[in-house]
Structure 1
């Protein structure tokens, strides 16, 4: 039993020695390559702060000038409607839907 333990210990030592040799060879190769090619610095990106809020909803009423900029051929301006309302398709009442279905 003791002999087996010693054999395993020696085997482990040999494996460690081989690993160390491989590590040294890899390091030497890396240094040789580093001389050939200059390593570029790793780019760092600015971390977003908690103050930045992306995609805030626009709930303010829209002025006619802004509307004309975004919708040049827009219908006459109604101050009570917001930009969000303008983006929504107009809803038909049930009666209008029924008449459209009959026409089709």
Structure 2
């Protein structure tokens, strides 16, 4: 069975660390590909390849400005990821609360043994 493409949606696109790095840079403002290459310390063709994937899933848009192609973050597809992650927030909070209880019990035990 053929493996499905791994860059067909925002979830898969952001699974790659370099793409997340590019998105973080674009969150600070629009940038041309050359600047992204400099900041990521990647070759321009590699950055262009990542930008193509991000563009295909709608995470970035591109605008021609003279001879430059300037990329801009499109946050709309990230909302789907944020919404999915939010569904785990209660689980995380419950686990952190449980961990806090364990730590408080340990601190009480320590204080009781120190007396």
Return the TM-score normalized by structure 1: 0.24
The structure with more helix, counted as a fraction of residues: 2
Q: Which has the larger radius of gyration?
A: 1
Highest relative contact order (Cα 8 Å, sep 6+), 1 or 2?
2
